Structure 1
Amino acid sequence: MVKLRSKRFSKSSTKLGGGVSPAAAGSGGEIKWELRPGGMLVQKRESQENGGAGEETMITIRVSTVSKWHDLSIQATSTFGELKILLSIITKLEPHEQRLLFKGKERDDDEHLHMVGVRDKDKVLMLEDPAIKEGKLLGLTRTRIIGGPPYCPISV
């Protein structure tokens, strides 16, 4: 975590209602800053200060597959790739076989959940990659032909 000191101006603080803001009052007038995974420096959220140092915010995501719903608890700062790993345990589909859609767009594995706007109790759609699905079907057909009983037109 990065700590920066902000400069307070006495004239502006008295005009705004006399004194320090409630967020800054609890920390002795210092504003706490954090560096987000995207590289943006922002003021630390109030909920993280109360939750304890180093503790990440957990969110529950509802993932819809073709036939089922899965409710998963995951850290808000996780990536879609990490979500795919969790889903691979539940759905028996490898992460590279999955396609995750949030708000109508397919998301890359390196995108962070909180950076694209995934919040607690949001829905994510998981589909099986059609190219992989087709490859599996073709692969099964080939193994049956190659691995099946040999064709012999002449009976012995």
Structure 2
Amino acid sequence: MNRRKLIINACLVATSGIAALSSKMAASATSSPGVALIDRLVEGINSRELSKLDQIYAAGSAYSNHQVLVGAPSSIPAREEFKSYLAQRIKAFPDITLSYDVAFASDDMVAVNLIWRGTHKGDYLGIAATSKKVTWNSTDLFRIKNGLFSDHWGAVDLYGLERQLRS
């Protein structure tokens, strides 16, 4: 599968809620090094051991986060900036858990629909704690080089999260 098809499939997952993969895609996705990195990401966040991300994301300029939510370009290395962002999310949702329902992998790319769950106990994106239990997702695309994530593009369902927090 080429990158274009992978991106199209990731978009289809995000917009149409595909419930099942073809057996060929499912077999390649579950045995993929990219999906193994996703599993390690989930483990690192669920255990609150953000230092585990150092074994998943490339260091220094070898990693680029293209997701606007994490922040504007800065002098802080992207991996450290991402870990700081996740620490803020964990502070706001101390019981946060991460899982995923769909992952596509091909060559040096992996696309995944991540599912975040937690109780809003601290300020997040300008919204004071509500103590509401919420669930939201993000659709993420990662490039892999030398066995680590080297690039990330993501889209977080902030609209759905904000609706839950403000309702």
Bin for the TM-score computed over the shorter chain: under 0.3
TM-score (norm 1): 0.25
Structure 1 or 2: more strand by fraction = 2
Q: Which has the higher contact order (CA 8 A, sep 6+)?
A: 2
Looking at CA atoms only, which structure, 1 or 2, has the larger radius of gyration?
Answer: 1
Higher helix share: 2
* TM, length-normalised to structure 2: 0.24
